[in-house]
C-alpha cells in the first residue's frame, strides 16, 4: 500500500463534496466478465510478523521500524498479524469468502537471510512459502507472488546501499528470483517482480518517509539518487523477465510483470492550459517513468529527459536492447490505484531535487470543490470517474491487459470491532470502483482481467503504524482475532452476481 502522508498540502482539507464524483452516486452493480478474477492482496512485512523466527534475517523495515526517535508512530511489525504462525487459518478464511486469487509477497530475508548471491539459503523460510502455496491450491485459490514489496535484506543495504548500486543489486536480485522460480514456479503461474517502484524511489530515497529513510536532511544526494534507484529497478526487472522467459517459462508456463501505482490527475483549473498540461505531465512523471521503458521498451519519456537533464540516468546500448527484448513478455499491467487528485502548475522555480515536474497535488480545485469524499486518510478520496480515466490512459498508452493488484480504503473508527464490521463507506467505495471497471471494459474497450482488494486484513501500514485499517477483515492486534467485515461478504456476493450477470 502506498504511503502519501508527505505529499499533503494545505488545501488537502475537507470542505464540500464535489459533484464531479457524485457524492450520492449509487452503486449500480454493473456486470463483469465471467472469468474476471477477484482476490485479496497483502505484503510480507505488513502481516507475517515472526521477525526473527526460524532463521529469518533482518530487512530494512526491521531496522527502520526500530529507529529512535521513531519514524513509524512508535510501532513495528515484529508480530503484526502473525500470519507466519496463523497462515492455515488465514487460507481457510479466504476460502470461506470465495476468493479466487491471493496476491502475497515473499520476504527476501526469510529465504536468504543475508540477501546476497553467495549467501546461505534458509530452508525453513522456503518451507513456509511452499506450505502456503500448497494450501492455497488445495482450496482452489491462485497464488500470485510478488518478489519485492519494499523489504530489502538489511545486509545488502549495509554492503552497498541496495538499489543505489545497480550492478550489485541486479546480480543479487537475479539470484533471489531464480531461487523463487526454482522452488515455487511449478505451482505459481503469475509473478510480480517489484511493487510500486515509484514509492521505492521517491518515498524511500527522497522524502525519506519509508525505509531505508534517505532524505535531504540526512545529507544524501536527493537530486540524483531517486532516479538511480528507479533505473536499478527497471533494469533488474528486465533482467529477471529475460531469465524467466529463457529458463523457466517453457516448462512452467507462467506469466510475469511488474506492479505500478498511480493516481489519476485532473487539472486544478480545467480552463487553464498550463494546469491541463500539468495534469498530463504529472501522469507521465508518475507512471510513464517506469511504464514506458518496461512496457514499450523505450527510453524514459521525453518530458522527463527535458526537465531532469543529467539527473536522469542513461540506458546503455545493451540495456536498451534488453528493454526492447523483454517488453513484449510483460503479460499484464499490475495497477495499484486508490484515488484521484488535482494537478496545479507551479509558477515559482522548482527545488533542485523536484520530482513532480513542478506540479502541486491537491484534493480541492480552483472552484473550491473536492475531488471526492474523504476516507480515513485525507489524500484518499472516493473518485471512481478518475479510476475509469486512469484505466483508459494506461490502456491507450500501453495496450497491455490490466489487473487491479491493489485497491481499497480505510474507514473512520475501525479500532472498535463493532464499528469496523459495519463498514458501509468501504462497501460503497468498492462498489463504485467495480462499476468503474465495468464501464471501462464494456463502454471503453479496456481489457481488465481481475481485481485484488487491499487488503485481506488490517495490518501494519508502514510508517503510519497500526492507525489506518485497510482490511476487509478486522484484526485485534492484542488477541490476533480475525473478524470479517461486511465488505468481505459484500465482495463475495457482488462478484457472484456481477459475473453471473455478465455470463
Query: Catalytic residue numbers?
Result: 196, 406
Among candidate residues 27, 13, 21, 7, the one with its CA nearest the CA of residue 382 = 21
Strands (E), 304-351: 330-336, 340-345
The DSSP call for residue 294 is I
486-502 vs 424-442: helix axis angle to the nearest 10? 20
Cell of 39: 482476490
Among candidate residues 452, 464, 285, the one with its CA nearest the CA of residue 359 = 285
**450: helix, coil or strand?**
strand
Adjacency order of strands within the sheet including 359-362: 264-267, 340-345, 359-362
Buried-exposed string 358-375: b where 16+ CB fall within 10 A, e elsewhere = bbbbbbbbeeebbbbbbb
The DSSP call for residue 476 is -
Q: CA-based Rg of the chain, rounded to a whole angstrom?
A: 21
Number of CB atoms found within 10 A of residue 495's CB: 21
Cell of 209: 518517509
Residue 107 contacts residue 146 (beta carbons within 8 Å)? no
Cell of 122: 534458509
Which residues, other chains included, contact 443 with Cβ-Cβ below 8 Å and sequence gap of 6+?
Answer: none
Distance, CA of 452 to CA of 132 (rounded, Å): 18
Distance, CA of 59 to CA of 77 (rounded, Å): 11
123-138 vs 83-96: helix axis angle to the nearest 10? 10
Amino acid at each position: 500500500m502506498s504511503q502519501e502522508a508527505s505529499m499533503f498540502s494545505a488545501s488537502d482539507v475537507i470542505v464540500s463534496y464535489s459533484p464531479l464524483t457524485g457524492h450520492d452516486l449509487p452503486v449500480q452493480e454493473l456486470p463483469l466478465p465471467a472469468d474476471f478474477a477477484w482476490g485479496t492482496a497483502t505484503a510480507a512485512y505488513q502481516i507475517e510478523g515472526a521477525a526473527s523466527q526460524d532463521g529469518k534475517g533482518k530487512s530494512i523495515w526491521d531496522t527502520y521500524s526500530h529507529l529512535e526517535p521513531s519514524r513509524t508512530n512508535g510501532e513495528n511489525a515484529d508480530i503484526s498479524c502473525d500470519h507466519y504462525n496463523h497462515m492455515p487459518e488465514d487460507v481457510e478464511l479466504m476460502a470461506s469468502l470465495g476468493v479466487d486469487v491471493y496476491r502475497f509477497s515473499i520476504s527476501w530475508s526469510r529465504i536468504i537471510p543475508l540477501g546476497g548471491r553467495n549467501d546461505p539459503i534458509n530452508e525453513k523460510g522456503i518451507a513456509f512459502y511452499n506450505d502456503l502455496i500448497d494450501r492455497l491450491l488445495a482450496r482452489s485459490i491462485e497464488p500470485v507472488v510478488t518478489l519485492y514489496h519494499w523489504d530489502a535484506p538489511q545486509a545488502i543495504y549495509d554492503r552497498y546501499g541496495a538499489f543505489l548500486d545497480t550492478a550489485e543489486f541486479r546480480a543479487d536480485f537475479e539470484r533471489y528470483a531464480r531461487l523463487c522460480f526454482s522452488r515455487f514456479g511449478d505451482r505459481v503461474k503469475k509473478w510480480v517482480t517489484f511493487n510500486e517502484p515509484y514509492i521505492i524511489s521517491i518515498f524511500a530515497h527522497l522524502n525519506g518517509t519509508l525505509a531505508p529513510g534517505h532524505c535531504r536532511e540526512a545529507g544524501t544526494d536527493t537530486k540524483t539518487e531517486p532516479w538511480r534507484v528507479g533505473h536499478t529497478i527497471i533494469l533488474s526487472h528486465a533482467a529477471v523477465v529475460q531469465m524467466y522467459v529463457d529458463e523457466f517459462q517453457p516448462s512452467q508456463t507462467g506469466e510475469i510483470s511488474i506492479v505500478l501505482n498511480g493516481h489519476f490527475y485532473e487539472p486544478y483549473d480545467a480552463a487553464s492550459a498550463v494546469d491541463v498540461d500539468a495534469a498530463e505531465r504529472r501522469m507521465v512523471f508518475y507512471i510513464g517513468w517506469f511504464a514506458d521503458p518496461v512496457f514499450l521498451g523505450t527510453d524514459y519519456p521525453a518530458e522527463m529527459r527535458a526537465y531532469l537533464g543529467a539527473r536522469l540516468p542513461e540506458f546503455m546500448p545493451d540495456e536498451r536492447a534488453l528493454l526492447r527484448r523483454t517488453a513484449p513478455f510483460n503479460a499484464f499491467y499490475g495497477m495499484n490505484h486508490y484515488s484521484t487528485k488535482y494537478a496545479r502548475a507551479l509558477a515559482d522555480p522548482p527545488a533542485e531535487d523536484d520530482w513532480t515536474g513542478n506540479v502541486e497535488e491537491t484534493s480541492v480545485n480552483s472552484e473550491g470543490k473536492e475531488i471526492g469524499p474523504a476516507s480515513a486518510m485525507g489524500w484518499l478520496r472516493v473518485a471512481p470517474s478518475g479510476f475509469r480515466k486512469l484505466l483508459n490512459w494506461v490502456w491507450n498508452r500501453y495496450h497491455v491487459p490490466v489487473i487491479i493488484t491493489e485497491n481499497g480504503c480505510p474507514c473512520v473508527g475501525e479500532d472498535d470491532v463493532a464499528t469496523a464490521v459495519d463498514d458501509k463507506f468501504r462497501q460503497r467505495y468498492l462498489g463504485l470502483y467495480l462499476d468503474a471497471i465495468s464501464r471501462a471494459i464494456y463502454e471503453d474497450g479496456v481489457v481488465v482481467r481481475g481485481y485484488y482488494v487491499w487488503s485481506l486484513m488490517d495490518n501494519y501500514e508502514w510508517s503510519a503504524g497500526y492507525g489506518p485499517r485497510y482490511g476487509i477483515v478486522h484484526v485485534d492486534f492484542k488477541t490476533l482475532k480475525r473478524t470479517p467485515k461486511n465488505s468481505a461478504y459484500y465482495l463475495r456476493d457482488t462478484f457472484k452476481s456481477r459475473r453471473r450477470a455478465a455470463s
